[in-house]
Amino acid sequence: MTALTFELKHTPDQRLDLSPLVPAKLAGLNRKEIEALEIGTTRQKLTVGAAFKLKGKDANALHFVGTDDRCDKIGAGLSGGEIHVEGDAGAYLGAGMKSGKITVRGSAGVLAGASMAGGHIAVSRNVGDQACGVAVGDTTGMKGGFVTIGGHAGALLGERMRRGLVVVGGKAGDYAGGRMIAGTLLLRRGAGRYAGYGNRRGSLIFMEKPRDILPTFSDCGVMEFDYLRLLEQWLRGQGMSVRLGARARRLMGDMAVLGKGEMLILA
Amino acid sequence: MADLKLKGITIVETFAEAFPMVGTRIIITAPTYEWAEISARTMTGFATSVIGCGAEAGIEGRLARKETPDGRPGVAVLLFTMDAGKLQTQLRNRVGQCVLTSPGSACFSGLEGEKKLKLGASLRFFGDGWQVSKVLGGKRYWRIPVMDGEFLCEDKVGLTKKAVGGGNLLVLGKSHGAVLAACTRAVKAMAEVPGVITPFPGGIVRSGSKVGSKYKGQIASTNDAYCPSLKGAVKSDLPLNIEAVLEIVIDGLTADAISQAMNAGIHAIARGGSREGVTHITAGNYGGNLGPHHFHLKEIVG
């Protein structure tokens, strides 16, 4: 069976809420019923059929083609199955998802992976602010899962994150790992200012020395961490070749809060 | 009785009687093979028999860098006891005292099982609040600060209730040297079989026992029927020309693994032929009423 494909017909004149288009909600629906689903966000009624051209049948593997940054909530609350986005994604990509996999060939907007609990999101290009942060109405950020960002991440990456792993290929914005409770950020090209602000138990792993380090992070010196070897091996198992080695400088903080978090700066 | 002969050595038509056990496998890694092995040997020391040691344990084999979770040289260790509670205690004490303490070591689960034992989940408390939990791919690991950096330890390890203990071979020969050489070869051959260990010193036991004793409180005593020096005094199972008997005891994660190990062992012993001085290969049993696993030598060689 070929993947159920949603091809955007033309740029919509309102933001779209695509959260109904996840495998669990589409299971058992026929083409007509899917086309009748409402995805508008204004008083102007908008259905799937009006915005998208549908192809394919397999509702467990969804494709979005030609989407742009107004296509919000793609894969939000996903609980299994796969979604592939050939284009950009709007806000709330995979927010609150529990399992499954989302791949985006373009960029994603704000709050990608916000408060997600499990599964895997892979964005080829950039993500907006508050990626893996706190979804509106929630109390904590990402609670589990794995997110890879090929490009840059906006401000407040992993805000109040509690568990999970985020790998950023480019630069992260200001306040990366801000108020982080736990979890891991692997930043390949550094971050903006105030990284780890209010970090309690989280780990920020820097492959390049960050320009600014908050004064509330205490230097513990350089040593070997077998954890970095384990992480490198695990990432290799996920098809991601990252050379971490084992030696890193450890800074503990944020001492202004609990202070059991860390920055590991590869040495 | 039509006994089978292998290169002139009699394979006695009998069976090894073995018992169900619970077992687990852990992976110890270190900066070098040498240090992984030191750690594993220490952890599996004094673990020949559940009767006096509380557990039976041994090194299953070496693991190459690409086979270990952290990409360092490693060793796989098997640990067996009679029930899950004792296995938990033995695992905690042995890993806590012998692996956690070993320079540069890390410890990982080597077995997925329906039930789990605590590994890092109990050792983490050594970190006194400075321990760090990390979850990767659904598995939790503990980073426990120690004087040479961090001890990395997986949270849980699987256990199997399908393990089998007490698979065995008895090797009879006309000289001590011949029997020892043949058994040494057999242990080496068995070490190549995955999922088994030979827990006794160098894999070989010279003091096979029988159940009970003439002395009150002594639960096991020397197997007089196989003691060459008592041939004339007891109901001996040994022909008069036998000078020495050695036994190889095998514990395995599955009954199948034990069969394979016994097969490898018998063929390794027979490689020397009767000219080396080995005369019989037999096995120990209690008449078949005690243990549910019967490994018939004839079928195994088959």
Select from A164, A230, A237 the Cβ nearest to the Cβ of B152.
Answer: A230
| Locus of tokens 């407040």 | A156
Distance of CA B55 to the CA centre of its chain: 10
Cα distances (angstroms) measured from residue B168 to each of A72, A86, A131, A225: 66, 62, 60, 43
A177 Rama sector, left if φ>0, alpha if ψ -120 to 50, beta otherwise: left
Enumerate residues 172 to 191 of chain A having a beta carbon within 8 A of any beta carbon in chain B: 182, 184
Under 8 Å between Cβ of A69 and A107: yes
Name the pLDDT band for A193 (thresholds 50, 70, 90): very high
CA distance B71 to chain A (A): 7
| Locus of tokens 């049948």 | A57
Which residues in chain A are closer than 8 Å to B130, comparing Cβ atoms? Answer: 260
pLDDT of residue B196: 98
Which residues in chain B are closer than 8 Å to A229, comparing Cβ atoms? Answer: 70-72
Distance of CA B87 to the CA centre of its chain: 14
Which residues in chain A are closer than 8 Å to B71, comparing Cβ atoms? Answer: 229, 232-233
Which residues in chain A are closer than 8 Å to B133, comparing Cβ atoms? Answer: 182
Task: Tell which residue, B302, B185, B187, has the closest CA to residue B250.
Answer: B187
Q: How many residues does chain A have?
A: 267
Q: Is A88 helix (H, G, I), strand (E, B) or coil?
A: coil
Name the pLDDT band for A55 (thresholds 50, 70, 90): very high
DSSP string spanning B269-302?
A: HHTTTGGGTEEEEE---STTSS-SEEEEHHHHH-
Select from A223, A226, A260 the Cβ nearest to the Cβ of B70.
Answer: A226
- For residues B219 and B221, what is the distance between their CA atoms, to the nearest angstrom? 7
Query: Would an 8 Å CB–CB cutoff place A209 in contact with chain B?
Result: no
- For residues B14 and A262, what is the distance between their CA atoms, to the nearest angstrom? 63
H-type alpha helices, B8-159 = 33-43, 50-53, 84-94, 120-123
- For residues B300 and B133, what is the distance between their CA atoms, to the nearest angstrom? 47
Which residues contact residue A201 at a Cβ distance below 8 angstroms, ignoring those fewer than 6 apart?
A180, A181, A182, A258, A260, A261, B132
Which residues in chain B are closer than 8 Å to A261, comparing Cβ atoms? Answer: none
For chain B of 302 residues, list the mean pLDDT of each consecutive stretch of 10: 85 96 98 98 96 96 97 98 97 98 98 94 97 96 98 98 96 98 98 97 95 91 96 96 98 97 97 95 89 95 85
A66 Rama sector, left if φ>0, alpha if ψ -120 to 50, beta otherwise: left
Pick the residue from chain B with its C-alpha nearest to A232: B70
Query: Would an 8 Å CB–CB cutoff place A223 in contact with chain B?
Result: yes
Select from B137, B149, B152 the Cβ nearest to the Cβ of A234.
Answer: B137
CA distance A253 to chain B (A): 13
Copy the structure tokens of residue A185: 């950020």
Which residues in chain A are closer than 8 Å to B106, comparing Cβ atoms? Answer: 226, 230
Pick the residue from chain A with its C-alpha nearest to B129: A260
Query: How is residue B99 annotated by DSSP?
Result: I
- For residues A254 and A180, what is the distance between their CA atoms, to the nearest angstrom? 10
First-to-final CA distance of chain A: 49
- In chain B, % helix, strand, coil (3-state, to 5) comes to 30, 35, 35
Which residues contact residue B93 at a Cβ distance below 8 angstroms, ignoring those fewer than 6 apart?
none
Select from B69, B132, B143 the Cβ nearest to the Cβ of A233.
Answer: B69
Does the reported pTM lie above 0.90?
A: yes
Please answer yes or no on whether A230 and B136 come within 8 Å at the CB atom.
yes
Asked if the model's pLDDT at residue A214 lies above 60, the reply is yes
Which H or E run contains B139?
Answer: strand B139-146
Query: Would an 8 Å CB–CB cutoff place A163 in contact with chain B?
Result: yes
Which residues in chain B are closer than 8 Å to A231, comparing Cβ atoms? Answer: 136
Which residues in chain A are closer than 8 Å to B147, comparing Cβ atoms? Answer: none
Which H or E run contains B247?
Answer: strand B244-252
- For residues B19 and B249, what is the distance between their CA atoms, to the nearest angstrom? 12
Asked if the model's pLDDT at residue A258 lies above 80, the reply is yes
Pick the residue from chain B with its C-alpha nearest to A228: B70
Task: Tell which residue, A83, A81, A60, has the closest CA to residue A73.
Answer: A83
Select from A182, A230, A262 the Cβ nearest to the Cβ of B70.
Answer: A230
Q: Where are the beta strands (DSSP E) in chain A?
A: 3-8, 16-17, 52-55, 58-65, 71-72, 79-86, 99-104, 120-123, 143-149, 163-168, 184-187, 203-206, 218-224, 247-253, 261-266
Copy the structure tokens of residue B109: 């689960």
Task: Tell which residue, B144, B164, B163, has the closest CA to residue B155.
Answer: B144
For residue range A70-90, list pLDDT tens digits in order. 999 999 999 999 999 999 999
Copy the structure tokens of residue A50: 């009006």
Pick the residue from chain B with its C-alpha nearest to A224: B149
- For residues B53 and A266, what is the distance between their CA atoms, to the nearest angstrom? 45
pLDDT of residue B2: 64
Please answer yes or no on whether B150 and A227 come within 8 Å at the CB atom.
yes
Select from B71, B106, B134 the Cβ nearest to the Cβ of A184.
Answer: B134
First-to-final CA distance of chain B: 17
Query: Would an 8 Å CB–CB cutoff place A262 in contact with chain B?
Result: yes
Under 8 Å between Cβ of B31 and B175: no
Which H or E run contains B9?
Answer: strand B9-11
B202 Rama sector, left if φ>0, alpha if ψ -120 to 50, beta otherwise: left
Asked if the model's pLDDT at residue A241 lies above 90, the reply is yes
Query: Would an 8 Å CB–CB cutoff place A92 in contact with chain B?
Result: no
Please answer yes or no on whether A230 and B72 come within 8 Å at the CB atom.
no
Query: Would an 8 Å CB–CB cutoff place A217 in contact with chain B?
Result: no
Distance of CA A260 to the CA centre of its chain: 24
Which residues in chain A are closer than 8 Å to B134, comparing Cβ atoms? Answer: 184, 203, 227
Query: Would an 8 Å CB–CB cutoff place A64 in contact with chain B?
Result: no
Select from A163, A201, A224 the Cβ nearest to the Cβ of B135.
Answer: A163
Which H or E run contains B79?
Answer: strand B74-81
- For residues A266 and A116, what is the distance between their CA atoms, to the nearest angstrom? 28
H-type alpha helices, chain A = 23-26, 31-35, 48-51, 226-237
Please answer yes or no on whether A229 and B133 come within 8 Å at the CB atom.
no
